[in-house]
Amino acid sequence: MKRSTHSLRGLARDIWEGATPIVALGGGLVLFALRAQSQVVLDDYSVSDEANYNYLGVLNDPADGWNVSSGELRPTIAGNAAGAWLWRQGERLSAVGDSVSISLSLPADAINGFGTGVGLFFAPNKDSAADGHQVLLVKFGNTYLFNISGLTTSGSFASSGSLTVKMTAQTPTNSAYSVSYSGNGSGNPFAVFTADRDSLFFGPEAFNTDTTAAAMDNLTFTAVPEPSAYGTVLGVLALAISLTGPGLRRSRTALRRQT
């Protein structure tokens, strides 16, 4: 967030220093369009507010293990079971470019033969785990891997990092999503999954985390600007040019006559 803000400020400074009024106006509208892509931290877990979520038993119907401690979500899901908390405050992945991310920390597993996992869960209905998709960083013994919709993906994954899932394609009946993780070296997408829906709800998921230090933090949502936002920017810019252009031409004509 801070790096993004600083880069926009630098761009604004470059546009406005020495610019004519119309260039400055156009540049300002471009910056407005850039900032329209909003990134919002939905939950930093500084307080415990499970009312923002719907709890779902994803595997073997475990008891709700919601637990916020020391500014992190540290869920207590026991045994060979998984639970998820879908965000229900309106945000969801509904357009190409929309993304959600969460910070993961998985220093050790439960050492009971099942492995331990934390990550994100996606479903077309916030009240049901049916047709859902999980994206879990899993530690099993000395190995870290990702479980994506039931399929394991091996690689060089670190015990902590930021997991990001982004919609990359959409039709009226299905959608596709890329998966990236800052803890795998490059941070580039390494997997893709598809859903038989055009949009998905999302939220944190935990598997067999009881008695471990598994934690999640900073559930963050990024939405692309609506097409109407670009239309508004272009419309205002066109209006500004139409109103300012003749005045600039008359002013230049007057200067030539005076000389």
User: What number does CATH give the domain 39-223?
Assistant: 2.60.120.200
Residue 1 has pLDDT above 70, yes or no: no
Residue 231 vs residue 147, higher pLDDT: 147
**CA 166/CA 162 separation, integer angstroms:** 13
pLDDT tens-digit profile of 202-245? Answer: 999 999 999 999 999 999 999 998 654 444 444 444 444 455 55
Q: Which residues pair with 234 in a beta bridge?
A: none
pLDDT tens-digit profile of 33-74? Answer: 444 568 999 999 999 999 999 999 999 999 999 999 999 999
For the chain, the C-alpha Rg in angstroms (whole number) is 24
> Mean pLDDT for the chain?
83
Q: What is the residue whose two structure tokens read 């077309």?
A: 124
Residue 238 vs residue 82, higher pLDDT: 82
Q: Which residues pair with 119 in a beta bridge?
A: 136, 205
Q: What is the residue whose two structure tokens read 């910056």?
A: 31
**pLDDT given at position 232:** 45
How far is Cα of residue 18 from the mean position of the Cα atoms in its chain?
37
**pLDDT given at position 20:** 54
Q: pTM for the whole thing?
A: 0.77
Backbone angles phi and psi of 249, in degrees to 5: -65, -40
**pLDDT given at position 256:** 45
Residue 7 has pLDDT above 60, yes or no: no
